[in-house]
Amino acid sequence: MADSTLAEVLTAEHHAIDGGIEKFTASSLRDSVQAWSAPLRQVMEALRRHIYLEEELVFPQLSNGPLMMPIMVMQGEHGEMWRRMADLDAQLAADDIDQSRRDEVIAGCTAMLELLANHNSKEEPVIYPHLDSDMDDDSQAFLRDFLVDGTIPDGWECARASLQ
């Protein structure tokens, strides 16, 4: 990672998250909901952490200029993803899951992939070029450290997690 730009590292996270959800949508139902859904819960944790680091470590560094409006759009879309993940968590909390409920979860994942494609297609060209050029050195170093082993604080929610 030391040789990669921050833009490259965060773009790689996008691809890993997309890939994880795509792989899950192709998986067939296993014996227990827990076993079947573990990879999806893992990738949602990765997405929540990704949203956390953008909203707490990146956006505050870049939002006092021409990126203010694009960042507001990004936050709104993070909120949509956040609520979609809460819906998926609720669906996965069932003790038992049959084929039709499995199909509902997969439909939720497909909707999530569409949200991500739309979001990332703007975030990567509009926001990410500024990571390496417009964030100060300390903030870049802090973000690099966080990317290695940082964790999202318990109970943290994104800025637009709720609709109101």
Which 69-128 residues touch Fe ion, going by CB under 5 A?
A: 123
Q: Which is nearer to Fe ion, 33 or 127 (CB)?
A: 127
Residue 116 Cβ vs Fe ion, minimum distance, rounded to whole Å: 9
Residue with the two structure tokens 């939002």: 63
Q: How far is the CB of 1 from Fe ion (least distance, A)?
A: 16
Nearer to Fe ion, 66 or 76 (CB): 76
Under 8 Å between Cβ of 40 and 56 = no
| Least distance (Å) between residue 99 CB and Fe ion | 33
Best CA proximity match to 80, nearest among 18, 22, 159? 159
CB of 39 to Fe ion, least distance (A): 20
Our measurement of the distance from residue 11's CA atom to the centroid of its chain's CA atoms, rounded to an integer in Å, reads 11
Nearer to Fe ion, 36 or 59 (CB): 59
Please give the Cα distance from 108 to 126 (Å, whole number). Answer: 27
The owner of tokens 């082993």 is: 149
Measured from the CB atom, the residue of 54 and 80 that comes closer to Fe ion is 54
| Torsion-angle region of 155 (φ positive above 0: left; ψ -120 to 50: alpha; else: beta) | left
Within 24-63, the residues that bind Fe ion by CB under 5 A are 54
- How many chain residues are in contact with Fe ion, going by CB under 5 A? 2
- Which pair of structure tokens corresponds to residue 66? 């021409």
Contacts with Fe ion, residue ranges (CB under 5 A): 54, 123
